[in-house]
Copies of this chain bind each other. A is one copy, B any other.
């Protein structure tokens, strides 16, 4: 960390900053130039907020040299992390395709969808049971009943299940049922929830907030990793910008950026990142071509009747076409689509 003093900073101000750096447990490297005095702060700087020094008299600029996260950083963990699911790993040569409806609505809906997406080549099943809805008057999900339906779909298909967790009080319940805990965009900085998930050993799909920077996403991952849970997958799901022709703006740049900064797998959600079913396949292809490790896609047997997100849900046949294209792109990238290996029973994966 470098602290650049103002041109007119007094020696007393510089000394006060130096004292503060030492108090933070860091070493000091002082450089007094013609235009500026620079105080280098050396040591475990990732755990020291910039604001500690920004408010001090005489300070002009505080600039990090190393990142404010450590466990999530590729610098300290150069090899890709692999997150194991049912017989395959996310983050390696195999591309995970997670698919299913926005909300679990009924037994027939989720079973029908699970069978269809399995058939089309999906490697995991998604379905919401606790729904974060902007309006208090909208459908809020089936709750535990939905989890039971997901579990039944898993037994029928062997697909591991992914569902969103909305609060720390749901951890015990969710961990009992799901293979992957999804943290939604609106909860990316619900730090109590992140800490609670960090104490489990269940895989996590951490979605980027609507206006969260890449660095903030990695800081949220750091919360979970710091708790000892290293099965973290990151998910780009579109950011909020001025453009309104799509629901969100897919930050496709974030894929190679994240792959360079972190060892964690990166998943793209082209359903939320576009908001329109007719653009999902193009963006899914783009994501894999850009280096993503997987996709999470909304599929519904009858989007016009979906209780939520119908506008962005693919019909099963459109999803099957998309998977085929994605598989071809994967091949060019030297990868292949993951395939579920085991069978699932009440005793766990066979």
Q: A residues near B, CB below 8 A?
A: 2, 4, 16, 20, 27, 29, 31, 33-36, 38, 40, 42, 46-49, 51-52, 54-57, 60-61, 63, 65-66, 68-69, 132-138, 166-169, 186-187, 189-193, 195, 209-211, 213-216, 219, 222-223, 226, 239-246, 249-257, 260, 273-274, 277-279, 282-283, 285-291, 303-304, 306-313, 325, 328-329, 332
Contact = CB atoms under 8 A, between A and B. Distances in A.
Given A63-B61, A249-B253, A260-B278, A136 B226 contact: yes
A64 B53 CA distance: 19
A31 B34 contact: no
Nearest to A245: B214
B169 A168 contact: yes
Contact of A133 (B191, B254, B289): B191
Given A66-B35, A168-B169, A216 B288 contact: no
A40 B33 contact: yes
B289 A213 contact: no
A253 B250 contact: yes
A31 B42 contact: no
Nearest to A58: B304
A39 to B, nearest CB: 10
B35 A31 contact: no
Q: State the number of copies, please.
A: 4
23 contacts: A2-B2, A27-B34, A29-B33, A29-B34, A34-B40, A35-B66, A55-B277, A63-B63, A68-B134, A68-B135, A135-B222, A136-B222, A167-B168, A167-B192, A190-B190, A213-B242, A213-B244, A214-B245, A246-B253, A249-B251, A257-B279, A282-B290, A329-B332
B243 A256 contact: no
Given A33-B40, A136-B191, A332-B332, 16 more contacts: A27-B34, A38-B38, A38-B40, A46-B137, A51-B308, A51-B311, A52-B307, A132-B191, A133-B191, A134-B189, A136-B226, A239-B249, A245-B253, A255-B286, A256-B279, A282-B290
A252 to B, nearest CB: 4
7 tightest A-B CB contacts, nearest first: A55-B310, A211-B211, A47-B137, A31-B31, A289-B289, A286-B286, A285-B289
A40 B36 CA distance: 9
A249 B51 CA distance: 19
A213 B38 contact: no
Contact of A2 (B38, B279, B289): B38
Contacts of A312: 55
A325 to B, nearest CB: 7
A138 B69 CA distance: 12
Most buried by B among A55, A216, A273: A55
A33 B1 CA distance: 11
A172 to B, nearest CB: 13
A328 B333 CA distance: 10
A211 B213 contact: no
Given A243-B214, A325-B332, A132 B189 contact: yes
